[in-house]
């Protein structure tokens, strides 16, 4: 009987914010596809360890690492732990993020600062720390989890959230231009209408309304985002860089 070829066999991946939601879905899929997985979390160790246990059951090596990506020293520890444990870093998925709500006049300086610290600075810090490793390898895949709000704006969340995700998308393209000559691909995935704990504020009526507004007539799942991230993280996507892949059920289509 032929053994199933795993798409990330032998690769090592860091997925930030992967104790729940989209990050968890990515971590579990990567583990099933043979990757060594660093499950990053900032608050809930118990949830992170649940993800680790599930990945271990799939036969892959994994560990949970606590780190707040908005803190440079935590990011250094995260990258260092991965190198000490697995010897290389092939894939970085910048998924950690926070959401905020309110009209612009309601957004405090503290909220503005925190959203950008996590969503933008955190992504930048992780990339800055991992790029020298990937350059030495002449290989690397960076996938940033952005949002539809970063492309079209959004009036249901605070404008600072969409602005942070827009910054992430442009950072993706800038890094793709800089890092392409070093064998490093940088892309982003922009989800919309994906049901995660972050979207618990949607009641049943809201979920039904949004589902009916999509051509596919259903809401998305973390697995929908995970499969797009997996594609951008494997060797078959080596000729793709600087792209924002929409995972939104057809709500937003590139013209």
Any catalytic annotation for residue 125? no
The 10s digit of each residue's pLDDT in 87-116 is 999 999 999 999 888 888 888 999 999 999
- Lowest-pLDDT range, 34-48, 51-65, 154-168, 190-204? 190-204
* Model pLDDT, residue 54: 97
SS3 assignment for the chain: CCCCCCCCCCCEEEECCCCCHHHHHHHHHHHHCCCEEEEEECCCHHHHHHHHHHHHHCCCCEEEEECCCCCHHHHHHHHHHHHHHHCCCCEEEECCCCCCCCCHHHCCHHHHHHHHHHHHHHHHHHHHHHHHHHHHHCCEEEEEECCCHHHHCCCCCCHHHHHHHHHHHHHHHHHHHHHHHHCEEEEEEEECCECCHHHCCCCHHHHHHHHHHCCCCCCECHHHHHHHHHHHHCHHHCCCCCCEEEECCCCCCCC
What is the CATH code of the structural domain delimited by 12-247?
3.40.50.720
| Catalytic site residue from 41, 125, 139, 161 | 161
Angle between helices 45-57 and 21-32 (to 10 degrees): 20
- For the chain, the structural domain boundaries read 12-247
Q: How far is CA 84 from CA 12, 71, 103, in A?
A: 12, 20, 45
Work out the percent of the chain whose per-residue pLDDT is above 90. 70
The 10s digit of each residue's pLDDT in 117-139 is 999 999 999 999 999 999 999 99
Report whether pLDDT(46) > 80.
yes
Residue 155 banded pLDDT, cuts 50, 70, 90: low
């Amino acid at each position: 009987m032929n053994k199933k070829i795993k798409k990330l066999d032998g690769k090592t991946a860091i997925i930030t914010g992967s104790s729940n939601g989209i990050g968890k879905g990515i971590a579990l899929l990567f583990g099933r596809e043979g990757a060594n997985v660093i499950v990053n979390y900032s608050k809930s160790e118990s949830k992170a360890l649940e993800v680790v246990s599930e990945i271990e059951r799939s036969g892959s090596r994994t560990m949970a690492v606590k780190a707040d990506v908005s803190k440079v020293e935590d990011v250094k520890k995260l990258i260092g732990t991965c190198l000490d444990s697995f010897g290389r870093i092939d894939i970085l998925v910048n998924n950690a993020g926070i959401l905020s709500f309110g009209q612009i006049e309601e957004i405090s300086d503290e909220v503005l600062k925190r959203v950008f610290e996590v969503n933008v600075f955190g992504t930048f810090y992780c990339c800055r720390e991992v790029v020298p490793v990937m350059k030495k390898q002449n290989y690397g895949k960076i996938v940033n989890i952005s949002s539809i709000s970063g492309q079209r704006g959004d009036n249901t969340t605070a404008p600072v959230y969409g602005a942070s995700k827009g910054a992430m998308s442009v950072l993706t393209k800038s890094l793709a231009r800089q890092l392409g000559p070093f064998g490093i691909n940088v892309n982003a995935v922009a989800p919309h209408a994906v049901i995660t704990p972050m979207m618990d504020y949607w009641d049943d009526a809201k979920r039904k309304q949004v589902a009916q507004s999509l051509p596919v007539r259903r809401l998305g799942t973390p697995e929908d985002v995970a499969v797009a991230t997996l594609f951008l993280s494997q060797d078959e996507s080596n000729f793709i860089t600087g792209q924002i892949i929409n995972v939104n059920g057809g709500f937003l289509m590139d013209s």
